[in-house]
Amino acid sequence: MPGITITRNDLTATQLRRGAARSRDANAARRMLALALVLEGKSRSEAASSCGMDRQTLRDWV
């Protein structure tokens, strides 16, 4: 299974985690946390399951 390629690098994993902590939108926070995990090298499956979603949903967001 190929990995996810993130083409925008304007935010780091740390910045995404901070944004998630400040967010009042739970879905947006989950997306930011999942993307932070991917940036840190986790697989799509790991990142998705850690944030309560399936791989396809995470892929669509990326």
DSSP assignments along 9-57, one per residue: -SS-HHHHHHHHHH-S-HHHHHHHHHHHHHHTT--HHHHHHHTT--HHH
Residue 37 lies in a domain: yes
* 2-13 confidence digits (pLDDT tens): 555 666 678 899
22-61 per-position pLDDT tens digit: 999 998 999 899 999 988 988 888 999 999 888 888 888 7
**Residue 5 belongs to a domain:** no
In this prediction the pTM is 0.79
Q: Residue 1: which of 43, 49, 33 has the closest Cα?
A: 43
Residue 2 DSSP symbol: -
Domain count across the chain: 1
Is residue 54 assigned to a domain? yes
Domain that holds residue 31: 13-61
